């Protein structure tokens, strides 16, 4: 009996992992408004570098558009807002331990049709909400007929993000500009602020956030808002 349950669990796990685009597999979606979202799930214990590359051609002339600040994050992604068009080719360069590296397959963006339907307010089943990602995992539930369900596509920040040790890592551009960061709870209540930051790369103690869950932040560059985003602190901290 136990052996049968373990076999079934292993089978379901394999299906789940295949569906989640684990590296070297990844997904590329056109979500509209000149945004191409590249995302993946990292199953590797050790990964030294992940770089996103883009090309007009599927075989050559690939150029790196981003090297991920923390390649070890289990789930990560990037919104490309500077692609010349929506038909570019994308691939990932993945550097593993001891100099081992590999390239993913090459992909073109596909339209995120589920998002398009949601943006248009179309609900095929009026008794079931379309997938929503407001504060975490995909959820579903009953909705009032006629209500429009909106979604928020979350892409982790490359400046402020949760590191694999549970701390908050801050990586700022290495320039002469003045930076400050305001932190908030998920319902936008102020927590604390870091003013006139001198260091460009540092960690913030997870104890500063007093509990697990989602937290929001605002990053300012020379007193102008540079980014608004959020990060998640897991329960085990």
Q: What are the extents of the domains in the chain?
A: 2-111, 115-154, 160-233
Radius of gyration, CA atoms only, the chain: 20
pLDDT at 116: 47
pLDDT at 88: 94
DSSP string, 201-212: EEEE-GGGG-SS
pLDDT at 217: 96
List of residues 6+ apart from 237 with CB closer than 8 A: 166, 206, 212
Pick left, alpha or beta for residue 8 (phi over 0 → left; psi -120 to 50 → alpha; otherwise beta).
alpha
Assign 3-state DSSP to the chain and report helix, strand, coil percentages, each to 5. 15, 40, 50
Give the whole-angstrom CA distance, residue 154 versus residue 137.
11
Question: What backbone torsions phi and psi does residue 98 show, to the nearest 5 degrees?
Answer: 60, 35
pLDDT at 138: 33
* 6: enclosing H helix or E strand: helix 2-19
pLDDT at 70: 84
Tell me: domain 160-233, CATH 2.60.40, correct?
yes
pLDDT at 191: 93
* 5: enclosing H helix or E strand: helix 2-19
pLDDT at 51: 92
Pick left, alpha or beta for residue 54 (phi over 0 → left; psi -120 to 50 → alpha; otherwise beta).
beta
Give the whole-angstrom CA distance, residue 89 versus residue 107.
5
Which of 101, 81, 78 has its CA nearest to residue 154? 78
pLDDT at 236: 59
Tell me: domain 2-111, CATH 3.40.50.10190, correct?
no
Give the whole-angstrom CA distance, residue 196 versus residue 221.
10
Largest Cα–Cα distance in the chain? 65
| pLDDT by position in tens, the chain (length 237) | 554 444 444 444 444 444 456 899 999 999 888 889 999 988 888 899 999 999 999 888 999 999 888 888 888 888 898 999 989 999 999 998 888 899 999 999 998 765 544 444 443 333 322 233 333 333 333 333 333 334 345 678 889 988 767 788 999 998 999 999 999 999 999 999 999 999 999 999 888 888 888 899 999 999 999 999 998 887 654
Neighbours of 50 (CB within 10 A): 25
Task: Return the C-alpha torsion angle 220, 222, 224, 230, nearest 10.
Answer: -10
Length reported for the chain: 237
Q: Do domains 2-111 and 160-233 have the same CATH topology?
A: yes
């Amino acid at each position: 009996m136990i052996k049968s349950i373990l076999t079934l669990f292993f089978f379901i796990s394999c299906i789940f992992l295949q569906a989640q685009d684990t590296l070297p597999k990844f997904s590329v979606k056109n979500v509209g408004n000149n945004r191409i979202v590249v995302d993946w799930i990292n199953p590797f214990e050790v990964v030294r570098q992940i770089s996103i590359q883009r090309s007009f051609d599927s075989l050559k002339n690939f150029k790196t558009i981003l090297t991920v600040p923390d390649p070890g994050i289990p789930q990560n992604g990037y919104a490309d807002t500077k692609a010349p068009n929506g038909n570019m080719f994308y691939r990932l360069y993945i550097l593993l331990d001891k100099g081992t590296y590999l390239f993913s397959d090459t992909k073109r963006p596909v339209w995120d049709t589920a998002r398009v339907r949601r943006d248009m307010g179309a609900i095929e089943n009026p008794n079931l909400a379309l997938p929503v990602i407001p504060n975490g995992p995909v959820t579903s539930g009953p909705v009032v007929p006629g209500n429009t369900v909106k979604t928020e596509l979350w892409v982790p920040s490359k400046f402020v993000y949760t590191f694999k040790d549970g701390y908050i890592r801050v990586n700022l551009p290495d320039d002469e500009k003045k930076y400050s960061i305001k932190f908030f709870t998920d319902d936008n209540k102020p927590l604390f602020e870091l003013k006139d930051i001198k260091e460009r790369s540092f960690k913030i103690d997870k104890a500063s956030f007093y509990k697990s869950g989602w937290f929001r932040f605002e990053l300012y560059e020379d007193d102008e808002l540079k980014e608004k985003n959020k990060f998640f602190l897991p329960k085990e901290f």
